[in-house]
Structure 1
């Protein structure tokens, strides 16, 4: 597939074009701009989810990327302040088939066009997204520039030079750019639990109440809410909400936090978050810390980039994927019992199965391409998954992983 030649997508500028996508190979794809005016350079990828475009746009893992949505009707439910994974979008822009229409949802407080304008993000509609997706499937995720100008005037040679001059995600550490700059307690900025229709975000578990205390030796009592210290490499908020819903208390530290800074918070367990960029680049400073944390024997759980960093910490290697996995419909086989979980994924790098050491067991595998989707250590209480079990957007097949992790903390 990698050797096949993609169909050229260049076309003459049509009347009324106010947006353009210029790929590094010279393809020029015209459309109608919406959202903010301007230009942005990065990697072009496709995403197959039918819902949750606001969560996708605000996922820090999409830093440095623009998203071609395969579902044609993006924007028709508008935008609201609840369906976000960060304060601001991290995706550079979006490429869609149909024009964004007025919102058709009782939860909308503004249209997607206005929301993107307010957050300085560029949109491009009227694109043959099927053809662009096929091009990415055949030739891999290209570098490109997305641009929007109301007057329809573009300097195509300059945009092409920008696309060709961008170095690409391989070797790029973006975690530092999207991570928190200081330690904070999750829930300090508002309710910490998961969202329910009619109730909003709950402060604790599913019913909103605090768990009962656990009895200790000598008649003492300890709260049943163990303390998780989450290292933020570009985390999604709904991960922390699900940790809280499973019964944990969560503190968040920057991607560059040292072993001593993490341990000073007296964690019962460690969480390694998702995030953007090349795990090998982030691993320069993250892997030594993770190795020290593993030596404490405290339970550890990683998701997405956190999964890749755990793999690097135990001696495995990671590589950039040809086109990556991005969508809310990815089937994953759980090797312990053969069950299939439909999962949400967003990653362009993967852990190489053949590089896993003897003390690491593969736990999940992608049924799309057979790539690794989960691992656990056989000699330490540490595990991770390549996909996103927090369902934002996506199915809820894998929420049990949060309960498994918090259960480990309680048992410990």
Structure 2
């Protein structure tokens, strides 16, 4: 097998190797696809990833990873690598919009509720404590780098899935196109994994619908350099607003007095029908910053990246069709409030890769792949979808002046001493126990 330690394969330049067949072909070189490839590669399974972009994406997306993902990454030997490149935060909070600071600028808005993920004085951050932070673009590169190091993974950039021509028990045949050369060719694999996002070509080629709904508003996501004037204990914060609700989170460790990178994601008015390019002008973005960003005025910020996108709540009717499987946003999509999207996709990768290892290396029946599909869909239906939906509604359906009293969740977060141990355990269970799928244990329990 030709491995992707060569510049052409890693950087997406030059001619790509023509592999006639692989154990697993992964469509989509994002973090979910690359993590799946890493887990398979370290088990000695040969994997080729195809990615339609000329390199990994730098689009402003996810950045924070919860305890369930941290434990999984630690087991894979990836946690320390991410921790070295990223940083830790203690939790998140909800605020009103910034207010006049009496100096011509704006102070952070009144805090309505806090969701601690560890104690505010925690400096050690053992695995599972706090929020592990690294922008998705950097996480993606790390996963790909480590996957290639296994010696069993390579990647072909500027290459996309055209069609699935055969999907039988013995394997899958597909037609792919190299977008640089505009040349098509056939590829074969025993299994195909579609990790190619919410607009998944794999899901469409399999004829699978994507039922659910699209929210009416678009989100304006920006990476912006901001001088840190304040030292909040809870750096990630939501700003409540009926229309232009916002989430802000650091992308670099926010040191007071230094300028670091932040993510500000602001909802556009659902009635605003201007094209994306108008939403993403400096003038429009700065107008939103004026309402939601604390700090001296005039604002002295530098917008580094910007994107506008729709948000969805959708789930495919199955994550397996024959020898083709789906993972991440290709299978399910949810709004980003609460950071459940990429975390869920990474936990898909964990479960799917383990299921494929069991089938390809340990002679388990292929029904293990049905268990993967059923169990991960259950996680979305009973935890990710309703939780992310309520997270979103909470930031724009409540009046900011009364939310701390009206919303049971805010009241609970503001006075956790009133919670019984049983209530705490019940609230933590979906995050700590249900979110991740132990395929091996489930299969053993069924025997």
TM-score of the two chains, using structure 1 as the length reference: 0.26
Structure ranking higher on relative contact order (CA contacts 8 Å, 6+ apart)? 2
TM-score of the two chains, using structure 2 as the length reference: 0.24
Structure in which a larger fraction of residues adopt helix: 2
